[in-house]
């Protein structure tokens, strides 16, 4: 009974937090886009489409430009709640449709990067902690060292130079025509996933070292538990907590990485869409992308908290 | 105790496992952050004395020096066209001088390969105009896409990075530490609000907001510093708050309260000094992140306004020429890597020394 109540309190708190996070992020973007100038200039700038005075005024009324900022934002928010994402300014298409078009490529290579980070970072972290001072330890720490200090964009450019231009192993530019052509994914995945893999590796390594040094491992060892069970069942399970909590922060790192990776590899994804929209001051798209992104972040945050509570029973919903 | 140490050293000597001189030096390097400190010292030195150290002007472009390779690269002949038709499209060659000369029937000698002029006259004698890409000690790391000396730009870029990051960090430090102090000390609603704002801030797609802000307020130094500053405060809040929660229950804080110290005085004189270690560690680890973020913003064209040299923007300059002139993008990236790596190393070392409890921090 007590558990169910605290669960509800936890959920309510989380939902309120999620709403505040999404409103905060979109309001900041909305306000900044208004500060960047009148969005109608997109049509009126030199070499633009040209507008008659009547159309200019009409558009102003449509977008509510004569009202105060907070009012404009509230109108936008009310529309979102009703499921109307408005049309983009440049090509007058539904923003939600545009975002849904661009989301799959980004999600696909973000997912492969995340898998790359987990598959490389976590085992290498365990290995380098278990055999401390060995060759594997040096390999792992070197991998983490470079991953954390090399700039993402530089890694991308150099990968293209070596593996695409010189060796001609992998194609670059877009993600191919098919649903999943793996050759196109290799370089973007490494570019985006390396830093995440490095972070996972460091976290797993340090928490593994700490746990292998703890009393309950010594007890298990004294009881004669086999080496593999000791490492993977007793040690590893507990060492996973730190990297798990980091997962939602990893996602925020991915948006930066995605904008850069998509720019370098010419991938038509969400990051590109946002970047172009910002340069056009196309605010419905800008705010829409930010909204989708913050929603992903709060959802991810929620799930990591849930998994956290499942993995570590000492932690209750707080 | 001393006896046992002597004994073990004696034992080691007997079994011939005495550490060599080289091993001792290696051990010293591993124990103290020599290499990171050296690299950071170099960064600060080049940043401060950039004007004296840079061999060339970092901003004035000399089209003759376009894409010239670094000094160790063999000079190559880019393309060749006949002098007979000045409008003819040149034939691409892309070969070292010796091979190209043999191809066009010139006997390569030491004299006609010695300088750029010699090569050009050798080709002119048989009726061709040769475009030579020459490397020289004049431009050790070569030239960039519009003919500016790469080394000079990297040296001046060090200054830019240094200034931007230092000011941004101080800015973030002031906001973050004061919010952490207030949240931890007063608790309750204030604490709740500050911590939730921090959470929301962490979820903000910063790079997008930063680009919008740059477009809104213009691409200037000040905007960049403010943006990086508001990016850097969050980890300070969380960790300083945690420290304050335990510090405020100490007896000396209660005594200070009884003695009638103002809240401000207690926060600044009694609690802040206890959090200094944490602050130093986080600041060191944070600077590396700031340098990377600044580089990303410059790379996307939302950072330091050109033509001021910034490492991130320099990598971007070289992107279209990556096939012919890899060095334009390569060296600024190496500079970023070395600085960030040094800072990460130093941060880890400081953390282990000053505050091992922060080991989970990344």
Residue of A69, A121, A151, A300 for testing the chain B interface, max B β-carbons within 10 Å: A151
The packing angle between helices B34-48 and B21-31, to 10°, is: 60
| Dihedral angle over CA of B300, B304, B307, B313, nearest 10 | -30
**CA–CA min distance B31, chain A (Å):** 15
Q: Which residues of B touch A252 (CB under 8 A)?
A: 202-206
Band (A318; pLDDT cuts 50, 70, 90): very low
Backbone φ, ψ for residue A176 (5° rounding): 85, 170
Name the residue facing B315 among A157, A210, A259 (closest C-beta).
Answer: A157
Average pLDDT of A16-40? 82
Taking only residues 130 to 169 of chain A, the set having a beta carbon closer than 8 angstroms to any beta carbon of chain B reads: 145-146, 148-154, 157-158, 160-161, 165
Write out the two tokens for B327: 């060095």
Are the beta carbons of A32 and B216 separated by less than 8 Å?
A: yes
Are the beta carbons of A151 and B196 separated by less than 8 Å?
A: no
Are the beta carbons of B316 and A206 separated by less than 8 Å?
A: no
Tell me the per-residue pLDDT of B224-235, one tens digit each, with 9 for 90 and over.
Answer: 888 888 888 888
Are the beta carbons of B204 and A274 separated by less than 8 Å?
A: no
B360 interfacial to chain A (CB closer than 8 Å): yes
Are the beta carbons of B205 and A206 separated by less than 8 Å?
A: no
Cα A286 to Cα A294: distance, rounded to the nearest angstrom: 12
- Whether the pLDDT of residue A121 is over 80: the answer is yes
Pick out chain B residues at pLDDT < 70: 1-19, 78, 86, 94, 355-362
Are the beta carbons of A259 and B295 separated by less than 8 Å?
A: no
ipTM: 0.82
Q: B125-131, long-range: CB within 8 Å, 24+ apart, which pairs?
A: B127/B82, B127/B83, B127/B84, B128/B80, B128/B81, B128/B82, B128/B83, B128/B104, B129/B80, B129/B81, B129/B82, B129/B83, B129/B90, B130/B77, B130/B79, B130/B80, B130/B100, B131/B77, B131/B78, B131/B79, B131/B80, B131/B90
Cα–Cα nearest to B53, from B163, B164, B162, B151: B151
Are the beta carbons of B299 and A260 separated by less than 8 Å?
A: yes
B258 interfacial to chain A (CB closer than 8 Å): no
**CA–CA min distance A72, chain B (Å):** 18
Taking only residues 263 to 322 of chain B, the set having a beta carbon closer than 8 angstroms to any beta carbon of chain A reads: 288, 292-293, 295-296, 299-300, 312, 315-316, 318-319, 322
Angle at A72 between CA A70 and CA A75, to 5 degrees: 110
Are the beta carbons of B208 and A35 separated by less than 8 Å?
A: no
A12 interfacial to chain B (CB closer than 8 Å): no
Cα B24 to Cα B29: distance, rounded to the nearest angstrom: 9
Find the helix or strand (DSSP H, E) in which B82 lies.
strand B76-82
CA contacts within 13 A on the Cβ side of A121: 29
Which of A181-195, A294-308, B9-23, B201-215 is predicted with the least confidence, judged by mean pLDDT?
B9-23
A246 interfacial to chain B (CB closer than 8 Å): yes
B11 interfacial to chain A (CB closer than 8 Å): no
**CA–CA min distance A224, chain B (Å):** 30
Residues of chain A with pLDDT > 90, as a percent, come to: 4
pLDDT of residue A148: 87
Cα B227 to Cα B214: distance, rounded to the nearest angstrom: 9
A258 interfacial to chain B (CB closer than 8 Å): no
pLDDT of residue A185: 86
Band (A223; pLDDT cuts 50, 70, 90): confident
Is the pLDDT higher at A285 or at B21? Answer: A285
Nearest-Cα residue of chain A relative to residue B333:
A154
Cβ–Cβ under 8 Å, residues B317 and B310: no
Are the beta carbons of A153 and B330 separated by less than 8 Å?
A: no
> pTM of whole model > 0.90?
no
Cβ–Cβ under 8 Å, residues A238 and A289: no
pLDDT of residue B248: 83
Cα A127 to Cα A129: distance, rounded to the nearest angstrom: 5
Q: Which residues of A touch B199 (CB under 8 A)?
A: 17, 21
Tell me the per-residue pLDDT of A31-88, one tens digit each, with 9 for 90 and over.
Answer: 888 777 777 766 655 445 566 777 777 777 777 777 778 888 888 888 888 877 777 7
Q: Which residues of B touch A203 (CB under 8 A)?
A: 360, 362
**CA–CA min distance B266, chain A (Å):** 30
């Amino acid at each position: 009974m007590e558990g169910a109540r605290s669960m509800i309190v936890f959920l309510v708190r989380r939902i309120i937090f999620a709403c505040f996070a999404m409103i905060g992020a979109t309001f900041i973007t909305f306000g900044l886009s208004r500060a960047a100038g009148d969005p109608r200039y997109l049509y009126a700038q030199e070499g633009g489409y040209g507008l008659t005075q009547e159309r200019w005024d009409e558009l102003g009324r449509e977008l509510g430009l004569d009202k105060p900022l907070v009012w404009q934002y509230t109108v936008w928010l009310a529309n979102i709640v009703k499921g109307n994402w408005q049309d983009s300014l440049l090509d007058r298409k539904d923003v939600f449709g545009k975002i849904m078009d661009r989301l799959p490529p980004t999600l696909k290579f973000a997912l492969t990067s995340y898998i790359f980070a987990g598959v490389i970072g976590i085992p290498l972290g365990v290995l380098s902690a278990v055999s401390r001072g060995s060759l594997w330890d040096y390999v792992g720490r070197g991998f983490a060292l470079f991953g954390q200090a090399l700039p993402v964009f530089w890694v991308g450019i150099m990968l293209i130079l070596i593996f695409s231009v010189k060796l001609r192993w992998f194609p670059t530019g877009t993600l191919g025509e098919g649903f999943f052509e793996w050759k196109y994914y290799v370089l973007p995945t490494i570019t985006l996933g390396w830093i995440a893999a490095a972070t996972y590796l460091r976290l797993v390594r340090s928490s593994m070292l700490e746990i292998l040094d703890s009393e309950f491992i010594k007890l298990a060892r004294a009881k004669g538990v086999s080496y593999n069970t000791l490492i993977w069942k007793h040690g590893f399970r507990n060492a996973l907590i730190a990297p798990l909590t980091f997962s939602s922060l990893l996602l925020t790192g991915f948006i930066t990485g995605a904008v850069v990776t998509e720019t370098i590899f010419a991938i038509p994804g969400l990051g590109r869409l946002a970047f172009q929209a910002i340069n056009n001051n196309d605010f419905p798209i800008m705010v829409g992308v930010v909204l989708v992104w913050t929603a992903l972040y709060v959802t991810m945050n929620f799930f990591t908290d849930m998994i956290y509570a499942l993995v570590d029973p000492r932690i209750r919903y707080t | 105790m001393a006896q046992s140490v002597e004994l073990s050293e004696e034992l080691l000597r007997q079994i011939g496992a005495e550490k060599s001189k080289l091993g001792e030096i290696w051990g010293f390097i591993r124990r103290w952050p020599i290499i990171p400190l050296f690299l950071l010292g170099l960064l600060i030195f080049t940043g401060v004395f950039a004007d004296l150290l840079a061999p060339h002007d970092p901003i004035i472009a000399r089209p003759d020096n376009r894409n010239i390779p670094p000094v160790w690269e063999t000079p190559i002949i880019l393309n060749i066209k006949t002098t007979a038709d000045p409008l003819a499209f040149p034939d691409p060659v892309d070969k070292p001088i010796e091979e190209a000369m043999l191809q066009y029937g010139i006997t390569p000698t030491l004299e006609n390969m010695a300088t750029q002029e010699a090569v050009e006259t050798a080709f002119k004698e048989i009726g061709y105009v040769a475009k030579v890409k020459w490397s020289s000690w004049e431009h050790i790391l070569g030239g960039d896409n519009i003919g500016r000396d790469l080394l000079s730009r990297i040296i001046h870029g060090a200054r830019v990075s240094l200034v931007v990051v230092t000011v941004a960090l101080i800015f973030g430090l002031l906001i973050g530490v004061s919010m952490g102090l207030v949240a931890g000390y007063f608790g309750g609603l204030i604490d709740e609000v500050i911590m939730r704002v921090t959470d929301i801030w962490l979820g903000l797609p910063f790079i997008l907001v930063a680009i919008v802000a740059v477009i809104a307020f213009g691409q200037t130094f000040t905007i960049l510093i403010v943006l990086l500053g508001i990016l850097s405060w969050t980890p300070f809040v969380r960790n300083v708050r945690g420290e304050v929660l335990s510090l405020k229950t100490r007896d000396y804080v209660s005594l200070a309260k009884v003695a009638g110290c103002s809240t401000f005085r207690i926060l600044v004189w009694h609690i802040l000094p206890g959090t200094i270690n944490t602050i130093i560690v986080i600041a060191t680890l944070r600077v590396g992140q700031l340098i990377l973020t600044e580089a990303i913003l410059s790379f996307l064209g939302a950072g330091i306004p050109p033509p001021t040299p910034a490492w991130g923007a320099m990598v971007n300059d070289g992107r279209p020429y990556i096939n012919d002139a890899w060095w334009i993008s390569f060296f600024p990236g190496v500079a970023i890597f070395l600085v960030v790596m040094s800072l990460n190393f130093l941060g880890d070392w400081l953390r282990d020394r000053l505050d091992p409890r922060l080991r989970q921090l990344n």
